[in-house]
Amino acid sequence: MKSLKRLLIISTIAFSFIGVSESSALARNNKCVKVGTFKTAVKVKYECKRLTTGLRWVKVQTKAVPTTSAEVIISIPTDWSNIEKYAENIPYASWKASVSAITNGIPQMPTLNIINGPNALITYPTPEVKINLTSRLFSSAKQPLHLTIMRFGYSDIEWAASQWLSQFNDQDNSVGTEVRSGCSTPTTCWGGVARNTKDGRAWISLATMKENTSSSRHVTGALEAHEFVHTIQHESLSGTPTQRLPRWLLEGMASYTQAAVEGVISFDAYKTERTREIGGLNNSIEWLESFLAPTGSDWSHWNKYTGNDSWRIYDVGFMATEALVALRGPNTVMSLYTKVGSGQTFDQAFNELYGISWAEAHKIIARVIFLQINK
């Protein structure tokens, strides 16, 4: 009994006052004069209460309550066996993996050169900030040594196209049109393009106009991060065509990165950018499976999608990439490019890095995307 009393004396927890009963009235000297007043005697607290026998001092009963709230534990997917079970927590798992990669990653910041056309509108004046975060996010990957960012307005289109051709005229047929297609009219001058030279120099073309000042993608550096990811993908491929990997992965990784670098400050910031990128998806599981399934060696499958479906390479690509990041982190996803650049097929690289065939994995990813957009 003495041991029990000692234990009760040395235990300290927070208390809150609760209701009292008539049976706890003091046996003697218990009359009081004003309801609601308190007194303490021998470290015991009493309250003046109106009982059937009149106003009496009543001992206040106490109840222990926790001093701190319990930590909320979020169950996140750890492998292919439970990714569907914890599908709703994929964004959180991806965000955690992204923050960890950025925090621990050593940046490979390229030498930065910025050139502006006479009519360029500068909507984000410090691109080096998001370039640095993106470099840290994929710190294990090979990255370009030099980066030129070219900004221009609609009236600068001839100058910009000339600059672009001078660097990449020997690469493929789209070089001559891609800068113009991103700024085809004064009110649709908003596109970004990225390319790498064979000697490790990367260029990003950014079309600008006044309306871009109200676009979060243009004023937060998200667009610079998006395009810089493409230069890392190109560099990791070591000259292998990007068409050797799915088109949704090319754009999905870049779109995911926008959320990852914005979300370095908080999960809420990650979710805000994520919502901008994927809002409005309502595709069926069958449609998603069909969209994700092919690998092959060209993009003819994805090029056939038109209208709104042509944008699915960005939002479905985002969510598919996010699932892969949740399981293995961002650097493993970029390793798909490195391994394909070293001679493997996408299927071989995926199986090696994720321990499952793409033929199996794409069906699981389709289901977890469906679960998230229909929760």
Work out the mean pLDDT of the chain and round it to a whole number: 88
Q: What is the pLDDT of residue 273?
A: 96
Summarised one tens digit per residue, pLDDT across range 320-336 is 999 999 999 999 999 99
Cβ atoms of 5 and 34 closer than 8 Å = no
Contact 35, 48 (CB under 8 A): yes
pLDDT higher for 67 or 217?
217
Supply the pLDDT for residue 36.
77
Q: Is 129 exposed, middle or buried (0-12, 13-18, 19+ CB in 10 A)?
A: middle
CA gap 249, 321 in Å, rounded: 7
Q: How far is 30 from 43, CA to CA, in rounded Å? A: 16
Q: What are phi and psi of 42, to 5 degrees?
A: 50, 45
Q: Residue 198: pLDDT band by 50, 70, 90 thresholds?
A: confident
Where are the strands (E) in 180-323, listed by range? 192-196, 201-207
pLDDT score for 61: 65
Between CA 340 and CA 234 the distance in angstroms is 11
pLDDT > 90 fraction of the chain, expressed in percent and rounded: 71
Burial group, residue 208, by CB count within 10 angstroms (0-12, 13-18, 19+)? buried
For residue 27, name the pLDDT band (cuts at 50, 70, 90).
very low
Six token digits for residue 105: 């990653």
- According to DSSP, the β-strands at 201-207 and 146-152 are parallel
How far apart (Å, rounded) are the C-alpha atoms in residues 304 and 37?
A: 80
Residue-wise pLDDT tens digits, 88-147? 999 999 999 999 999 999 999 999 999 999 999 999 999 999 999 999 999 999 999 999
List, for residues 241-253, the tens digit of each pLDDT value.
999 999 999 999 9
Burial of 348 (0-12, 13-18, 19+ CB in 10 A): middle
**Tokens in use for 82?**
């439970």
> Residues 51-83: pLDDT tens digits?
767 788 888 765 444 444 455 788 999 999 999
Domains of the chain: 11-65 (no CATH), 87-373 (1.10.390)
Q: How many residues does the chain have?
A: 375
